[in-house]
């Protein structure tokens, strides 16, 4: 089996890669029958020389490889027919902008596996960049606060080498006695929590957060049952009741918005779930949030202040509650919003190393153990020019039927 670490060709350039040189050495050691080739790249966070120095072939031509492993979407012109590909295709939610990509994958008889579809037997994702989105998102939120209030001037995350460097920058700032709210329970929110803990911000309970004032900065981490309540008033402790019946709930987030200064959105938002807060909620005098780091970045969705995704180059904008429009983030009326939708790109080395660890643990073994855990079977989107049964719901999307 011959694997190719392919060059990232999507714009803007993405410096991440699935396997660092060190992790590729580990993969080769664990699976000596696997052959790994690296497609030459001038943008990758690890240089061609770094791979060559570890003994890997670096080449411009990977057409003789069986499995192509990348990060972002592969441009249609660069797709090699009759190959197996791994990358984030952004098609499984029927994203209109990638319909032609999936059509081309089928036409070219490509076997597609999307990193998002690599799940365990309970449907939980096994690999992803979520932790690094959380790390950078929390940092960028503090950077936005400093810029809004001229309190500090943190450098952009991108030029800094790793998470440790971000933490060192954050440790230099002196936080006011603000209340920080973090939503979520997965990799994204855990990544953000790592940063708060590294800064020694005190974690407090929901009850204390809602009822007490503090003479130091504090944060509270909440999950779906903390900010949603049953319409019928029933007290629920099982989160699966919410996941299975989101339409039976309404948001209870405003009790947190009333006492929060800086909000970090690290939750997963499911279809039919209530919005955390609406545009009308933001108009309320009880809405106290001043800075939002929306890592989840569902545009015009459950976090109503997120009008659009921002960019690494220009990550911050302001939201005017009264006009529901974008204004300068330093305006006194503005809620400051950071909503970059590709945050892990700002931490390419750490993100690549962490991603490779997960890919080596869960995916590569499946090629050599007859896929005994069903990893590849569940993740496969296309085969023999057709959608697999698991992803047959995409047929109308492929056919162009809305």
Chain segment 208-229, per-residue pLDDT in tens: 999 999 999 999 999 999 999 9
- The pair of structure tokens assigned to 5 is 């670490």
Number of domains in the chain: 2
Q: Is the dihedral of CA 390, 395, 398, 402 positive or negative?
A: negative
- 209 and 218 in contact (C-beta within 8 Å)? yes
Average pLDDT over every residue of 180-185: 96
Average pLDDT over every residue of 63-67: 97
**pLDDT over 90 for what percent of the chain?**
90
Closest Cα partner for 39 from 83, 13, 15, 70? 70
* Residue carrying structure tokens 């690290």: 266
**pLDDT over 70 for what percent of the chain?**
100
Higher pLDDT, 195 or 243: 195
pLDDT in tens, 120-173: 998 889 999 999 999 999 999 999 999 999 999 999 999 999 999 999 999 999
Q: Per this entry, what is the length of the chain?
A: 402
Backbone angles phi, psi at 19, to 5 degrees: -125, 125
Is 22's pLDDT higher than 70?
Answer: yes
* Residue carrying structure tokens 């039927």: 401
The Cα 277–Cα 204 span in angstroms is 22
* pTM (two decimals): 0.89
- Helices 348-362 and 21-30, axial angle in degrees (round to 10): 10
CATH assignment at residue 72: 3.40.50.720
Q: Give the ranges where 120-263 is alpha helix by DSSP (H).
A: 130-149, 163-171, 187-198, 206-211, 224-227, 239-244, 254-257
What's residue 269's pLDDT?
81
pLDDT band at 300 (very low <50, low <70, confident <90, very high): confident
The Cα 69–Cα 37 span in angstroms is 10
Closest Cα partner for 42 from 14, 70, 67, 68? 14
pLDDT band at 271 (very low <50, low <70, confident <90, very high): confident
Do residues 108 and 230 share a domain?
Answer: no
Do residues 183 and 287 share a domain?
Answer: yes
pLDDT band at 402 (very low <50, low <70, confident <90, very high): low
Do residues 44 and 146 share a domain?
Answer: no
- 188 and 195 in contact (C-beta within 8 Å)? no
What's residue 401's pLDDT?
72
What's residue 270's pLDDT?
78
What's residue 272's pLDDT?
84
pLDDT in tens, 230-258: 999 999 888 989 989 999 999 999 999 99
What's residue 12's pLDDT?
81
Closest Cα partner for 356 from 140, 193, 132? 132
Is 56's pLDDT higher than 80?
Answer: yes
Owning domain of residue 357? 2-127+350-399
CA distances from 231 to 22, 96, 118, 227, 242 (A): 52, 34, 35, 13, 11
Pairing of strands 111-113, 84-86: parallel
Do residues 123 and 134 share a domain?
Answer: no
- Domain-terminating residue out of 306, 324, 341: 341
Do residues 190 and 74 share a domain?
Answer: no
Do residues 32 and 149 share a domain?
Answer: no
Do residues 285 and 371 share a domain?
Answer: no
pLDDT band at 42 (very low <50, low <70, confident <90, very high): very high
Do residues 79 and 135 share a domain?
Answer: no
Is 330's pLDDT higher than 80?
Answer: yes
- The pair of structure tokens assigned to 340 is 């970059």
- Domain-terminating residue out of 300, 316, 341: 341
Q: Which helix (H) or strand (E) holds 383?
A: strand 382-383
Kindly report the average pLDDT of the chain as a whole number: 95
Q: Which residues contact 341 (CB under 8 A, 6 or more apart)?
A: 297, 309, 310
pLDDT in tens, 80-123: 999 999 999 999 989 989 999 999 999 999 999 999 999 999 88
Average pLDDT over every residue of 288-309: 94
Residues known to be catalytic: 72, 90
Do residues 188 and 334 share a domain?
Answer: yes
Three-class SS of residue 222? strand
Do residues 110 and 251 share a domain?
Answer: no
Do residues 207 and 335 share a domain?
Answer: yes
- Domain-terminating residue out of 319, 341, 363: 341
What's residue 322's pLDDT?
97
Do residues 254 and 232 share a domain?
Answer: yes
Residue 366's Cβ-side half-sphere holds a number of Cα atoms within 13 Å equal to: 20
DSSP string, 68-96: EE-SSPPPGGGPPTT-EEES----TT--G
């Amino acid at each position: 089996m011959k694997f190719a670490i392919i060059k990232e060709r999507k714009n803007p350039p993405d410096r991440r890669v699935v396997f660092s040189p060190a992790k590729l050495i580990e993969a080769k050691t664990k699976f000596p029958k696997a052959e790994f080739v690296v497609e030459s790249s001038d943008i990758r966070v690890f240089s061609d020389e770094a791979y060559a120095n570890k003994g890997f072939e670096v080449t411009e031509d990977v057409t003789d490889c069986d499995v192509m492993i990348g990060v972002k979407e592969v441009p249609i012109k660069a797709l090699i027919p009759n190959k197996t590909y791994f990358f984030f295709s952004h098609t499984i939610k029927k994203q209109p902008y990638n319909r032609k990509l999936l059509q081309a994958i089928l036409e070219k008889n490509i076997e597609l596996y999307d990193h998002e579809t690599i799940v365990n037997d309970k449907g939980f994702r096994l690999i992803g960049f979520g932790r690094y989105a959380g790390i950078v998102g929390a940092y960028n939120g503090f950077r936005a606060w400093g810029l809004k209030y001229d309190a500090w001037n943190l450098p952009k995350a991108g030029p800094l080498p790793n998470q440790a460097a971000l933490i060192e920058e954050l440790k230099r700032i002196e936080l006011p006695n603000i209340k920080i709210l973090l939503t979520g329970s997965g990799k994204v929110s855990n990544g953000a929590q790592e940063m708060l803990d590294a800064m020694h911000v005190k974690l407090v309970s929901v009850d204390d957060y809602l009822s007490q004032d503090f003479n130091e900065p504090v944060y509270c981490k909440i999950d779906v049952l903390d900010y949603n309540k049953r319409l019928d008033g029933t007290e629920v402790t099982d989160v699966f009741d919410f996941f299975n019946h989101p339409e039976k709930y309404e948001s209870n987030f405003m009790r947190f918005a009333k006492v929060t200064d800086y909000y970090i959105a690290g939750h997963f938002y499911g279809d039919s779930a209530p919005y955390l807060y609406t545009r009308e909620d933001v108009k309320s005098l009880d809405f106290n949030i001043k800075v939002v780091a929306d890592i989840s970045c569902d545009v015009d969705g459950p976090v109503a202040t997120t009008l659009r995704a921002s960019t690494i180059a220009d990550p911050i904008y302001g939201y005017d509650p009264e006009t529901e429009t974008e204004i300068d983030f330093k305006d006194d009326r503005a809620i400051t919003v950071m909503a970059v939708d590709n945050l892990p790109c700002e931490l390419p080395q750490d993100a690549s190393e962490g991603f490779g660890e997960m890919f080596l643990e869960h995916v590569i073994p499946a090629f050599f153990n007859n896929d005994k855990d069903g990893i590849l079977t569940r993740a496969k989107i296309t085969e023999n020019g057709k959608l697999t049964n698991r992803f047959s719901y995409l047929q109308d999307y492929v056919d162009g039927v809305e």
